[in-house]
Amino acid sequence: MAKTKTITLAINGRERALEAPANATLLETLREHGYFEVKSGCEKGDCGACAVLVDGAAFDSCLTLTWTVAGRAITTVAGLSEAGTKHPLIEAFETTGAVQCGYCIPGLILAAQSMLATTPDPSDDEIREGLSGNLCRCTGYTKVFDAVRQAAASLRNEISRKKTGREEGGAA
Amino acid sequence: MYADFDLIIPETLDAALAALAEGNGETRALAGGTNMIVDLRARRAKPARLVGLGKIEALRGIRIADGRVTLGARTTMSEILHHPGLAEHAPSLVAQARVFGGQMVRNAATLAGNICSGSPAADAVPPLLARDAEVTLASPGGTRVVPLHRFFLGYKKDARAPDELMTEIAWNLPQAPSAELFYKLARRKGDAITVVGVAVALDVENGVCSRARVALGAVAPVVKRATAAEALLTGQALTPALIEAAAQRAVQEVDPIDDIRASAGYRRHTVHALTRRLVTQAWDRLG
């Protein structure tokens, strides 16, 4: 049996002390503790369904051993929105109809968030690069790209509102 | 996970090297995990203990100074892709990072991990071979520097002793005007395993090609240079006929296999086409 120890993780802004064996993946630990929004897909790093943010960057939780992220901030799709609001990516995936069965969507949204953190105004090629590790078997990805473009614009607006109190390209 | 193993996560390089040395080959280093975790799950790797390298700052960092590029072993593909200086000084290495796995894999996968995976399709290796990169191997007994083209000994076999850890990858920037190109042929642009990968680097001095490198991935048991093709180009003012001859010579230097991604014949055809194309384009850039 693998050794077990208590690992502290800040999951969706809340400190959790979780028991985890040495051979546990972050995917296994999160689902074991009720974070069912983190989906298990290929378990090989091909499909991206299990993506979570670790200190803001997206990682496949199926390829991450829990002990190696001790003390880090983990964000699942359920923790992306600020309290009382809906995150622009979630809003955009809903309004553009990018969601069908929904299984890949938590991973797609977190991969998109991670990409927009380094590339706030992505070209279509940059969106493809950012999302190439996420497989969706329902759609043709077109509406997913629409959603990411729409969310990127609204996030840029949010940032420029915070900076200047004005809408991007428009009057206050 | 069904696989059973112990895990330690040391804070220093010395502690990691000591753990690898006392492990008698039953202990393996864990970097980004994008190969290792898959191998553990499939039981292709059965280490008793893993040494996680994530806390060792000495294995990180990208330095471009004094005519030399030095990358820490744990440099990730995303760090290569987004580094402001590498786009100018290592365009082929950046180009492979752009098409390396998907975003989550790029955020985790490391340069040394890709080299040490021993995969003939390792995307980072052709650009590094084209730059004459060297790798530093460390053990409790000391360190040694090995040219990357001597590192690979056979399919999944390399020059590391069981207690050695790759700590650094480095190369000298070209002194003469130089052009380099990389192309990855795969079934799709992202998140796909390479069918054929080609990196070409040419230096020009006094109107002739003073240094030629043609490095080929996924067409032999190891990623390799087509040294006979390189020799045809070196010292010459390149012409279409000479480039065609070099591309034909490169085909004779590979030993591809049939697999689910492509036939050996298609891979030979592609080595010819891509070598000709990339050498032509690189030479044009220097003109």
How far is residue A134's CA from residue A97's CA, in Å, rounded to a whole number?
Answer: 17
How far is residue B179's CA from residue B95's CA, in Å, rounded to a whole number?
Answer: 14
Are B37 and B72 within one domain?
no
Phi, psi of A95 (to 5 degrees): -75, -25
Q: What pLDDT is stored for residue A1 in this prediction?
A: 66
Using the 8-state DSSP alphabet, how is residue B258 labeled?
Answer: -
Beta-carbon separation of B104 and A43 below 8 A: no
Q: Mean pLDDT across chain A, nearest whole number?
A: 93
The three-point CA angle A151-A154-A158 to 5° equals: 135
Beta-carbon separation of A63 and B107 below 8 A: no
What is the tally of structural domains in chain B? 3
Closest-CA residue of A relative to B6 is A22
Q: What pLDDT is stored for residue B25 in this prediction?
A: 76
Q: Which two tokens stand for residue B112?
A: 């040394």
Q: What element of type H or E holds A75?
A: strand A73-75
How far is residue B129's CA from residue A6's CA, in Å, rounded to a whole number?
Answer: 44
Q: Please report whether residue A32 resides in a domain.
A: yes
Are A67 and A102 within one domain?
no
Are B215 and B165 within one domain?
no
Q: What is the CATH number of the domain that holds B230?
A: 3.30.390.50
Q: What pLDDT is stored for residue B3 in this prediction?
A: 87
Q: Please report whether residue B161 resides in a domain.
A: yes
- pLDDT level of residue B182 (50, 70, 90 thresholds): very high
Over residues A41-64, the mean pLDDT reads: 97
- Percentage of chain A modeled with pLDDT above 90: 85
Are B167 and B200 within one domain?
no
Using the 8-state DSSP alphabet, how is residue B139 labeled?
Answer: E
Q: What is the CATH number of the domain that holds B20?
A: 3.30.43
Does residue B5 sit at the A interface (CB-CB below 8 Å)? Answer: yes
Beta-carbon separation of B78 and A64 below 8 A: no
Phi, psi of A88 (to 5 degrees): -55, -35
Using the 8-state DSSP alphabet, how is residue B23 labeled?
Answer: T
Are A92 and A73 within one domain?
no
B107 contacts in chain A (CB < 8 Å): 57-59, 114
Are A38 and A67 within one domain?
yes
B104 contacts in chain A (CB < 8 Å): 45, 48, 51, 58-60, 63, 111, 133
Does residue B98 sit at the A interface (CB-CB below 8 Å)? Answer: yes
Q: Residue B167: which domain range? A: 58-172
Q: Residue A28: which domain range? A: 4-77
Q: Please report whether residue A170 resides in a domain.
A: no
| Interface contacts (A, B; CB < 8 Å) | 105
Domain end position, chosen among A77, A112, A142: A77
pTM beyond 0.90: the answer is yes
- Here the ipTM equals 0.93
Q: Please report whether residue B139 resides in a domain.
A: yes
Q: What pLDDT is stored for residue B146 in this prediction?
A: 98
How far is residue A21's CA from residue B5's CA, in Å, rounded to a whole number?
Answer: 10
Q: What is the CATH number of the domain that holds A8?
A: 3.10.20.30
DSSP string, B74-138: T-BHHHHHH-TTHHHH-HHHHHHHHTSS-HHHHHH-BHHHHHHT--TT-TTHHHHHHTT-EEEEE
Distance of alpha carbon B70 from the chain centroid: 14
**HSE of A75, CA atoms in CB hemisphere, 13 A:** 18
Domain end position, chosen among B146, B172, B198: B172
Tell whether the model's pLDDT for residue A171 goes beyond 60.
Answer: no
Q: Please report whether residue B117 resides in a domain.
A: yes
Query: Collapsing DSSP states into helix, strand and coil, what is residue A41?
Result: coil
* CA distances to A44, A108, B76, B77 from A139, in Å: 22, 13, 31, 28
What is the tally of structural domains in chain A? 2
Q: Are A81 and A50 in contact (CB under 8 A)?
A: no
Domain end position, chosen among A29, A52, A77: A77
Q: Please report whether residue A169 resides in a domain.
A: no
Are A72 and A96 within one domain?
no
Q: What pLDDT is stored for residue A166 in this prediction?
A: 61
Q: What pLDDT is stored for residue A165 in this prediction?
A: 67
Q: What is the CATH number of the domain that holds B167?
A: 3.30.465.10
Q: Which two tokens stand for residue A31?
A: 């689902």
Are B168 and B182 within one domain?
no
Q: Please report whether residue B64 resides in a domain.
A: yes
Q: Is B206 exposed, middle or buried (0-12, 13-18, 19+ CB in 10 A)?
A: exposed
Are A8 and A72 within one domain?
yes
Beta-carbon separation of B38 and A44 below 8 A: yes
Are A99 and A152 within one domain?
yes
Nearest-CB residue to B34 (from A63, A111, A132): A63
Are B112 and B183 within one domain?
no
Q: Mean pLDDT across chain B, nearest whole number?
A: 95
Are A9 and A59 within one domain?
yes
Q: Quick: pLDDT tens for B213-256.
A: 999 999 999 999 999 999 999 999 999 999 999 999 999 999 99
Are A100 and A152 within one domain?
yes
Are A61 and A96 within one domain?
no
